[in-house]
Homo-oligomer: A and B are copies of this chain.
Amino acid sequence: MRPSERAPDQLRAVTLETGVNRYAEGSCLVTFGHTKVLVTASVDEGVPGWMRGKGAGWVTAEYGMLPRATHTRGRREAAQGKQSGRTQEIQRLIGRSLRAVVDMKALGERQIQIDCDVVQADGGTRTASITGAWVALRLATRYLLDEGVIKTDPILDQVAAVSCGVFNDLPVLDLDYEEDSSAEADSNFVLTGNGDIVEIQATGEKRGFTRAEFEALYGLAEKGINELFALQRAAIER
């Protein structure tokens, strides 16, 4: 039995609320149960120095967690003077995941900067961030199309992500914090709308885990991500 009494293949309640920031070209407040991430997509007319003159754009992401997003207050990274290894790892993952579904030539020499700020954390913040970031990115690129800044839609496909794990020897979908902190194995799947792999990360936490268990997690992820795709499409409907 899962602590939340969910079925093994059941997502938490997921919401994707758009238009939550009055300045950003795209924004989305994504919730997976008690996990809440505020995502903004900001258009920057310019690209990093190493990309200039190539006629192509870029998508990058930053991730942060408010100090009291967690059960006990964590230290503020800005006050500590550096981002943790975990933070950097997550924001690199978010950026890679989004870039996998963007046609950089169609975007032109401009950058879309994604900010994912975790307002409240209950497990799965990186996968919620990716799922919500796609919505914000979709809205920001639609804005560029509507304004006539770009002619061709740079979004090639959807991308969404979910975590799965082995909890009390049972493969389950969408771990919350209580499950995550005692799971035997933890994994994150990032898939595109056509089912291709963008990224898989799987880690044995308490023990190594078997290929059979891994295959079960993979199946759960495919089911959950398909549900997320439907929610994403609903969120961006005008």
Contacts and interface: CB of A to CB of B under 8 A. Distances in A.
Contact of A38 (B66, B87, B203, B209): B66
Query: Most chain-B Cβ atoms within 10 A of its Cβ — which of A87, A89, A210?
Result: A89
A201 interface: yes
Contacts of A80: 78
A73 interface: yes
A76 interface: yes
A83 B73 contact: no
Interface of A: 21-24, 27, 34, 38, 40, 42, 44, 62, 64, 66-73, 76-83, 85-89, 91-92, 96, 100, 113, 115, 117, 119-120, 185, 187, 191-192, 194-204, 207-211, 213-214, 218
A197 B211 contact: yes
Contact of A71 (B23, B196, B204): B23
Contacts of A88: 85, 88-89
A82 B87 CA distance: 15
A214 B202 contact: no
Query: Most chain-B Cβ atoms within 10 A of its Cβ — which of A69, A119, A203, A207?
Result: A203
Contact of A196 (B24, B113, B204): B204
A83 B78 contact: yes
Given A88-B88, A199-B204, A44 B62 contact: no
